[in-house]
């Protein structure tokens, strides 16, 4: 009888060990697949976020500068808008490379980037200092929104890496 109880006990322990081995193998698989993807995501996000912060700062400074030195507004507007436009293209490309963007997020980002593109087009035609300032302020606000959407996106992606029990 002791042998039968012992065998049953050992079988249960063996089953538990096998279950534990399967969980470890699954975890190793998640780590092997997940970390390279996570590293790429963080690099991409970091680059895009840096560009968003730069273009937002350019917009803020341009808005401030054209009201401080209004006689130079056309010159400064041209310089700043060219920088904003170039960075805008890089941001759009970078966002297109991000993994796991769902339809809602993609729609929000596309809407914001399209709005910024339109503002860039509008500012090139504008001569009124106050309207130029308003457009630069709007560009800055739109990029703040892009930053918030990107933060939500990364939070959602990072939470998908959490272990599910």
CATH of residue 130's domain is 1.20.120
141 within some domain: yes
1 within some domain: no
Q: What integer pLDDT is reported at residue 46 of this predicted model?
A: 86
Report the alpha-carbon distance of residue 62 to residue 72 in Å, rounded: 11
34 within some domain: no
Report the alpha-carbon distance of residue 64 to residue 59 in Å, rounded: 9
30 within some domain: no
What's the average model confidence in pLDDT over 49-77? 93
5-44 pLDDT, tens digit per residue, is: 566 666 777 778 788 787 877 777 776 776 777 777 788 8
| pTM of this structure | 0.77
91-118 pLDDT, tens digit per residue, is: 999 988 877 678 888 899 999 999 999 9
Whole domain around residue 146: which residue ranges? Answer: 44-160
36 within some domain: no
53 within some domain: yes
Q: Considering only CA atoms, which of 44, 41, 75, 80 is closest in space to residue 59? A: 80
Mean pLDDT of the chain: 86
Angle at 105 between CA 138 and CA 143, to 5 degrees: 20
Q: What integer pLDDT is reported at residue 3 of this predicted model?
A: 52
Rg for the chain (alpha carbons), in Å?
A: 26
150 within some domain: yes
Q: How many domains does the chain have?
A: 1
99 within some domain: yes
């Amino acid at each position: 009888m002791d042998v039968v109880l012992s065998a049953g006990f050992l079988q249960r322990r063996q089953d538990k060990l096998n279950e534990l081995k399967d969980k470890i193998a699954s975890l190793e698989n998640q780590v092997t697949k997940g970390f390279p993807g996570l590293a790429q995501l963080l690099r991409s996000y970091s680059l895009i976020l840096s560009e968003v912060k730069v273009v937002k700062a350019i917009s803020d400074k341009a808005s401030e500068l054209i009201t401080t030195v209004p006689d130079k507004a056309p010159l400064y507007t041209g310089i700043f808008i060219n920088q904003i436009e170039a960075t805008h293209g890089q941001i759009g490309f970078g966002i297109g490379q991000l993994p796991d963007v769902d339809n809602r997020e993609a729609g929000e980002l596309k809407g914001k980037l399209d709005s910024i593109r339109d503002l860039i087009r509008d500012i090139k035609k504008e001569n009124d200092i106050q309207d130029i300032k308003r457009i630069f302020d709007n560009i800055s606000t739109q990029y703040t929104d892009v930053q918030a959407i990107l933060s939500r996106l990364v939070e959602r992606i990072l939470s998908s890496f959490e272990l599910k029990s």
